[in-house]
A = this chain, B = another copy of it.
């Protein structure tokens, strides 16, 4: 049977979309390698003098505030504005939302620019919606994924974004219907920045289709399935980091279709 999500991956391979990343120092290498592995074409650039120009030649933009400072924040605002002016879809990864007032200010300014997609863990999505006062402990998730559904729906209603809450079960919110994705493995939380990689892969998929929700589902399923396959070959998070890249590169239609676990509610 045809799997439309798999087909989106084929579009990425065929079109090799240029994905402009303004992301954090920790994950840049892995993010670039993950995008290359699935056939996309990554660019990392943050100079305020050029981000606008890079957005105009890119198919999508990924903004990740993991190691942002004042300069990088300014570049992110400019890039988001350029993306909106050119109707370029963009992803917001709100790393560490709620941890400091600086992050919350940057994130509020980015939210008001209406990201096409927001992807974070439960703590981050909740902090973003300011619906409770759970303190974020840096980049770790302390809330269960389910408890973030209300926050995701609030963000979707307020900013129009497709919202993905990643966790043991990934949740995709785009209106009333909720999509649940149950791929992935707990060891993936011991590799730094796989959430950031997920956001970058979303960037690739929204670069080849206007069906944003399907693009998010395809990207999250892909990294979850590739992660499951990679864990089987890994004795720890060190080998997992590289095996995940190899699996993203080698994954087959059979593997993708037989492993994908999706449900709606």
Contact = CB atoms under 8 A, between A and B. Distances in A.
Interface string A48-71: 111001100110000000111111
Contacts of A245: 236-238, 241
Contacts of A237: 33, 36-37, 245-246, 249
Interface stretch (A110-118, A122-130, A131-139, A203-211): A131-139
A235 interface: yes
Contact of A47 (B43, B102, B248): B102
Interface string A88-103: 0000000010011111
B49 A70 contact: yes
Given A137-B41, A191-B36, A244 B249 contact: no
A66 B27 CA distance: 16
A11 B189 CA distance: 19
A193 B32 contact: yes
A41 B189 CA distance: 11
Nearest to A21: B26
A177 to B, nearest CB: 34
A249 B47 CA distance: 35
Nearest to A41: B140
Contact of A53 (B43, B102, B236): B102
Interface in A77-109: 96, 99-103
Interface in A217-265: 234-239, 241-250
Contacts of A30: 29
Interface of A: 16, 18, 20, 24-30, 32-33, 36-37, 41-50, 53-54, 57-58, 66-71, 96, 99-103, 135, 137-140, 189-193, 234-239, 241-250
5 contacts: A36-B237, A49-B70, A57-B137, A235-B250, A238-B241
